[in-house]
Amino acid sequence: MSTFYKVDTIDVKKIFTLAELMIERSVEDFLDVQSEVEAMNTRQLRKKICRSRIARYDSFDWTFQRVQLSDCGVWPNMCGIDSRYCLGNVVQTVALLKQTIPSSLEEKLRTMKQRQKFMIDNLPIILVRGGTIRNNPHCTQTKFDIDDGNARAVLYCLEDPKKEVLAFVGS
């Protein structure tokens, strides 16, 4: 089944804010946090999101769709790991990380694994047109750059490299 429809920029900002707030909260708090974020207006969201990200979000038209992880490039500074691991798409990054996964990322992924189904169901990744964030000549050009959800994408790929994920896509 194909999932593809237009969404408003404010919905993308709310998902980003929700994902950020949920980092430190338990799954049981989700409905409360979601209600809190849903009640936020544009001005309140601007206070929660850095200026460069707000400008990026405001510059795109947004859709909600299924995407292949192999079409997504991770942020070269993801979780503070060596950027040489993050020059390709998510599948390539995971293949390199499997050889020597940094302990900081391993711990983060272990914690996230306990919440994986929740994240898949409630926190889509946020993507932008390839080359927007990963504009480094050393990075492989991908269809999409991950704006938010790099570690989630790596976690999903560890489970299934051919996985399709739901994402907000800016173009």
Q: What is the pTM of this model?
A: 0.95
DSSP state of 75: P
Query: Mean pLDDT throughout 82-87?
Result: 91
* pLDDT tens column, 23-40: 989 999 999 999 999 999
Helices (H), the chain: 9-22, 30-38, 42-48, 51-58, 90-99, 103-113, 116-122, 150-159
Residue 166: per-residue pLDDT: 95
Cβ atoms < 10 Å from Cβ of 98 = 9
pLDDT at 97 over 50: yes
pLDDT at 65 over 80: yes
Query: Mean pLDDT throughout 4-33?
Result: 96
Q: Name the β-bridge partners of 126.
A: 148, 168
Higher pLDDT, 77 or 74: 74
